Amino acid sequence: MSDALTLFSLPLFPLSAVLYPGGLLSLRIFEVRYLDMIGKCHKTGAPFGVVALTQGSEVRKPDTANPDGDGFTTEAFNAVGTLAAITEFSVPQPGLMTIRCTGMQRFEISSREKLRHGLWIANVTRLADDQAVKVPEDLRGAANSLGRLIKTLQERAVPAGQMPLLPPYRFDDCGWVANRWCELLPMPLELKQRLMALDNPLVRLELVSDILERTGIAL
C-alpha cells in the first residue's frame, strides 16, 4: 500500500451527518476532546476525518449501566468517511470554537483506536476521486433543477458566506450534481452514507434523480 494514499493517526469527528467531497460543514466545538484536536488541525493546516455515526451521539454521554465500559455510551461509525479542511476558524469565547470546513477526498478506515480522553484516531486509505462523467440527457433534469435553485438563491441576494453550495458550479458533472443534491435533500442518514460511498458517480446521480422525480423536484 502506498504511503501517498495512506494517512496515519487521522483524528476523527463522528457526526450525525455525512460530508461529501466539495461540500460544506459548519461546526460549534465545545467538547474537550475536540477543542485541542481542531486547534492543532487549524494551526498546522491538517485535515480531520468526518464519519457518520451508526451508534451513539455526537456529544459523549455518561453510561453507568455498563461497568465494563469506559463510563460513556458506545460510539460506532461507518468505515468510509470524508476528509475535512478547515476554511474558517474563530474562538468566540473560551471553551468554544466555530469552524467552517470543506469536504475533500473520501477515505476508508483500515484500523481505529479510541484514546483515553475519547478522541478517535484511525489509519485510513484515501479513495479515488469521482471520475468526471458528463451528465447524460435523460438526467439533465437533476442538473437543471439544481441550477434553478442556485439562481433563486442568488436573486434573493443570499450572502456568499451563507450559500449552501460552493462555486465553481459543475452542472455537467454527474458526481458534483449528485453530491450537491445528496446534501440538500432530506434523506435518512444511512441512505446519504450509501450514496456517498458509491464509486460510480453516474449510478449515484441516477439514484438521486429517482428521488427527485418521486418528489416532483426534477421537472
Task: State phi, psi for 65 to the nearest 5 degrees.
Answer: -80, -15
- The residue ranking higher by pLDDT, 65 or 9, is 9
pLDDT digits (tens, 9 = 90+) for 5-50: 889 999 999 999 999 999 999 999 999 999 999 999 999 999 999 9
Please check whether residue 25 is in contact with residue 50, taking contact to mean a CB–CB distance below 8 angstroms. Answer: yes
Residue 16 and residue 52: Cα distance in Å, rounded?
6
Domain(s) labelled CATH 2.30.130.40 in the chain stretch across: 3-126
Please enumerate in sequence order all residues whose Cβ is within 8 A of that of 129, keeping only pairs 6 or more positions apart, or say none.
21, 105
Three cell numbers written together for 184: 440538500
CATH architecture entry for 3-126 = Roll (2.30)
pLDDT, mean of residues 175-182: 98
Verify cis geometry, omega within 30 degrees of 0, for the bond prior to 168: yes
- The residue ranking higher by pLDDT, 206 or 64, is 206
CATH number of this structure's domain 137-215: 1.10.4060.10
Please enumerate in sequence order all residues whose Cβ is within 8 A of that of 28, keeping only pairs 6 or more positions apart, or say none.
96, 97, 98
pLDDT digits (tens, 9 = 90+) for 91-115: 999 999 999 999 999 999 999 999 9
In the predicted structure, residue 164 carries a pLDDT above the cut 60: yes
Confidence of residue 175 (pLDDT cuts 50, 70, 90): very high
Domain(s) labelled CATH 1.10.4060.10 in the chain stretch across: 137-215
| Helix (H/G/I), strand (E/B), else coil: 72 | strand
Distances (CA, A) of 182 to 58, 151, 158, 192, 204: 21, 19, 21, 6, 9
| Least reliable range by pLDDT among 5-19, 58-72, 187-201 | 58-72
Distances (CA, A) of 52 to 13, 49, 89, 159, 215: 9, 10, 22, 29, 25
Confidence of residue 64 (pLDDT cuts 50, 70, 90): low
In the predicted structure, residue 1 carries a pLDDT above the cut 50: no
Residue 106 and residue 130: Cα distance in Å, rounded?
10
**Residue of 143, 188, 149, 189 lying closest to 165 (CA atoms):** 149
